[in-house]
Structure 1
């Protein structure tokens, strides 16, 4: 009887070890759009201008060796998802998934994003390809790889930059280009074609 009990406990333990972990990482798919609150110097300005906690965004790549995020920082890079998530304030994250796109299309999107690896970060939020900012990388990758334009292009002057004059002058000089068109992480998050599959942000982020 004791031997049967030991065997049962051993089998239970084996099953517990073998069971897959129910984690967010295991649910991610290539092409998912991930957003968090960055700890970068400019994060507070982005949050103020967009009335959103979402100040940084990247693209997920799922591989046999693990899950990664392609992101435009200094420079554009590819890092493990766990490291990317840990960089966000309080570890909060939002995950969005484009609807009605197959795996092959999303892989083309990732390939389009990875073409920009190593490029410098675009501090002036221009639309050229010599440098990239985070939401520009995501939008351009989906345009090239899937023919989809996620997020809306907005003029800098249409954002709430009234209290950011000093930051704007430091970035652009005396002539702030208020007609500059850019895409923000918050704009991507508002696109209803990107389905929210996870968020641990408080309501109203």
Structure 2
């Protein structure tokens, strides 16, 4: 199923999507999960493999100084929300919020994510803690900070990787680990335990 259809069906079942607002930052809450289309080279491969435009994800922390995003790039870092949003293709983002967690639980999840600040980005999408990729950081932060595992683990070989043999060999060598389990931004995006706060994606308005 194409990403646009999948997200449209899911969003239709979870309520209307908010129209874009200039005061979006004021609507954010600590623990919100934000997704966009990265401009990185690997973004196009992630989009193809997951049939989704959502190729990067981070976690919001709201402070008296404004909203920030904790994200796994090179290295894991904490950046201003406005800067994070601007990095996405056309500035479009999807904002999700856990439905049944307290403010304290969401802050604990963000604190768990911040424990990884400074770690390198995991280009191989492995599950160890020595390095982190974006959706791994979010899933682990909520699992360890709030006891909830958002998204699902999927085998690399179960994704739409046909036609991506060359970039995968460049990353992994001749033996691609098709049994590798990973969590994708697209998997987080369709988790029914997360409610839509805002979406800029035309296909799901």
TM over 0.5: yes
The structure 1 segments of at least 4 consecutive aligned residues displaced by more than 6 Å after TM superposition are: none
SS at match of 2:62: strand
Residue 160 of structure 2 aligns to a residue whose secondary structure is coil
Structure 1 counterpart of 2:70: 70
Give the superposition deviation at 1:204: 5.5
| Distance in 1 between residues matched to 2:149 and 2:122, nearest whole Å | 20
Unaligned runs of 5+ in 2: 1-20
Question: What runs of 5+ residues in structure 1 fail to find an aligned partner?
Answer: 1-20
Supply the RMSD in Å over aligned alpha carbons.
1.3
1:172 is matched with: 172
Number of residue pairs the alignment of both structures matches? 185
**Aligned pairs (5 A) from 1:40-119:** 40-119=40-119
Q: For 1:170 and 1:100, how far apart are their aligned partners in 2?
A: 42
Does residue 153 of structure 2 align to residue 187 of structure 1?
no
Work out the CA distance in 1 between the residues paired with 2:148 and 2:203. Answer: 28
Query: Which structure has the higher relative contact order (CA within 8 Å, separation 6+)?
Result: 2
**Cα distance in structure 2, aligned partners of 1:22 and 1:126:** 37
Provide Cα deviations, 1:9-36, integer angstroms capped at 9, x if missing partner.
xxxxxxxxxxxx9600000000000000
| Closer, same or farther: CA 55–22 of 1 in aligned 2, 3 Å | closer
Distance in 1 of aligned mates of 2:22 and 2:178: 46
Structure 2 match to 1:123: 123
Look up the match of 1:14.
none
Q: Deviations over 1:98-120 (max 9, x none)?
A: 01111111110011000000000
Q: 2:90 aligns to what SS in structure 1?
A: helix
How far does residue 203 in structure 1 lie from its aligned partner after superposition? Answer: 1.4
| Residue of structure 2 equivalent to 1:24 | 24
* Structure 2 residue matching 1:62: 3-state secondary structure: strand
Residue equivalent to 2:11 = none
Which structure has the bigger radius of gyration?
1
Q: Which residue does the alignment assign to 2:9?
A: none
Aligned to 1:12: none
Q: Distance in 1 between matches of 2:94 and 2:36?
A: 6
* 3-state SS, counterpart of residue 123 of structure 1: coil
